[in-house]
Chains A and B, each alone.
Chain A
Amino acid sequence: MADNDPIISIRGLVTQFGDQVIHDHLDLDIFEGEIFGIVGGSGAGKSVLMGAILGLVPAKHGIIKVLGKRTGNLERIMKLHLQSHWGVLFQGGALFSSLTVGENIQIPMKDMEHMPDDLALEMALIKLKMVGLEEGDFYKYPSELSGGMVKRAALARALAIDPEILFLDEPTAGLDPISAAAFDELILTLRDSLKLTVVMVTHDLDSIRRLCDRLAVLVDKRAVIGTLQSLLNNKHPWIREYFHGVRGKAAMAGLME
């Protein structure tokens, strides 16, 4: 893999549930070390796109490459051990309900035989604090957490092994503004020091502005890709509405002429 090759590349992706086409020949490149935002209306197919990259949703047509290797279904991903290169935060958290928060965070570490137990415990505690939870939450079960705490615990699990690629589905939804800002800073620090690549589905305009190097807007079953600046000038009616609507204007104040 050459240095300027994309870390994730998608060509001509078609996904479909029954007759409903979600993506129609969608192309997308994500490069190492960038924070890449995916936005779009509810039901536009953001989560499905992430699922397709992760091999959870079968692609009807098209080529998906991660780290230069062709993926597409779970079997191939298993064989390539791609799972140890990425961490995933699902929209609903997807914590294992029969395990405590601490055990949830340690699962990806336990999976690697190279991590001694006491170190795994320490690292889990560190990750727990990193995402803003307290040590006292370590032994709570997911059913005993608040909505925002579930999100954070799931983020801690996604960060557990410092993956090269971090997939986040609406990470700041359900967080208070202070925690959301802390989250933005955390992601920036990790990206800057560990060269993490972050793929982030989000509706949070502040996060987009603070974090995202580039964005893909899912409209009309395809992706319109660009920097925030270039998308602000895009003429597509939905994109205009998104950034120039009441909320968009407030969040993007100062960026627009």
Chain B
Amino acid sequence: MAISTPKIEIFSKNEMVIFKPQGIWEASSANDVEKLCKNLLKNSLPPFVVFDLSELVEFDTSGIWLLDKTIQDIKKRGHQVEVKNASEAFLTLSSRLESYKPSFKHLPKPQTYIGKRIVELGKVSVNLAFLARDLISFLGQVVVGLFSSLLHPKKLRLISIVAHMERFGVNAIPIISVMSIALGLVLAYQGEEQLRRFGAEIYTINLVSISMLREVGILITAILIAGRTGSSITAQLGIMKINQEIDALNTLGLSPMDVLVIPRFLALILVMPLLAFVSDIAGLLGGGIMVFFSLDVSPQLYIHRVAEAVTLGGFWVGILKAPLFGAIIAIVSCFEGLRVEGTAESVGICTTRSVVEGIFLVTLADALLSIFFSKIGI
């Protein structure tokens, strides 16, 4: 069996030293090889150095590279170096490697830690400003696209819109119903506990129905859709961007705005009020179940009290917010999807941003609208 660990045998004669590399000089043993070579350089050497390569049979480019480097270093120190018995394979490869020698010219200088942080801080702030600007200009493009497709209704892709409505809307009904029922239950339970102290537990029904219809139903719908649909839109458009599918559309004379963005935008706007309605009903159902068990309120009475508590205005406040929130989610997610650049990592980053920005903007809009509605007295 051949020796496997790399080794250098050393023979010293008065004015001369002979190095005889042995063993495997390959990438898998590069660590050992590098140490060996470093050790060679540590000792003081006589004027004549001979490398006898007769026993070096197992090597690859990394082994040759390290050996060549060592030889060059020894030469630089003013020693005479002779390489003996090198196989032809060694010679061809090592002369080839000579021409591939790295110059390290183009490698950038590493920055200092503080420098890096300052540069990063600057980048983040500038990017934030650009983000706001780009988002607003994208909003403008969408509005223009919308008008142009309203002027030429033939350009509207009805089939695509309906297909998106199914994916964004119909398929989301189960999860939205379950979440809303659970929320209705929780609201009723917590409300009843507090109101019971004043003997006003029957007003639990008012609490549940008003908060569910005005705020909670639409908010939970928007948050779920931002997570579920917004992320999928961003990821899909992002991958299409990477695969140059967007470029292909452009060269085919199809505008990505018309083909991809507007259908998704319209589908989400149309579907959100319906989902909000589903969420309202499911929430009321959850509340009803809770009061039935804890307050012994019969279903008929519950429906009656809900009808008394809720005004039509309150119901519409919730439902009318839905298309707006749908628009926000659609615009943010399409915008982020089209911002993806080249890498798989960028798809991940943009998808996260799409969801976070979507939820943030929806919540902000909801807060502003609440103030507005209370000022005008609905």
Contacts and interface: CB of A to CB of B under 8 A. Distances in A.
Interface string A113-129: 11110010011011101
Contacts, number: 99
A144 B342 contact: yes
Interface of A: 84, 96-98, 109, 112-116, 119, 122-123, 125-127, 129-130, 134-136, 138-139, 141-144, 161-162, 189-190, 192-194
B242 A143 contact: yes
B97 A126 contact: yes
Does more than half of chain B's interface fall in helix, strand or loop, or is it mixed? helix
Contacts of B342: 97, 141-144
Interface of B: 26-32, 34, 60-62, 65-66, 88-90, 92-93, 96-97, 99-108, 242, 341-346
B341 A143 contact: yes
A16 to B, nearest CB: 27
A192 B89 CA distance: 7
Contact of A193 (B32, B89, B104, B346): B89
B12 to A, nearest CB: 28
Nearest to A97: B343
Given A126-B65, A194-B60, A114 B344 contact: no
Nearest to A144: B342
A129 B98 CA distance: 11
Contacts of A125: 100, 102, 104
B92 A129 contact: no
Closest 3 pairs between A and B when the two form their complex, measured CB to CB = A143-B342, A125-B102, A162-B60
A84 B28 contact: yes
Contacts of B93: 189-190, 193-194
Contacts of A141: 342-343
A119 B66 contact: yes
Contacts of B28: 84, 112, 114, 161
Contacts of A96: 344
A77 to B, nearest CB: 18
Nearest to A137: B106
16 contacts: A97-B343, A112-B27, A114-B27, A115-B30, A115-B31, A116-B34, A119-B34, A122-B102, A123-B27, A126-B101, A139-B107, A144-B342, A161-B27, A162-B62, A193-B89, A194-B60
Contacts of A127: 61
A136 B103 CA distance: 11
Contacts of A189: 92-93, 96
A97 B66 CA distance: 31
Contacts of A193: 88-90, 92-93
A32 to B, nearest CB: 14
B38 to A, nearest CB: 10
Given A98-B344, A115-B31, A135-B105, A123 B92 contact: no
Nearest to B31: A114
B258 to A, nearest CB: 26
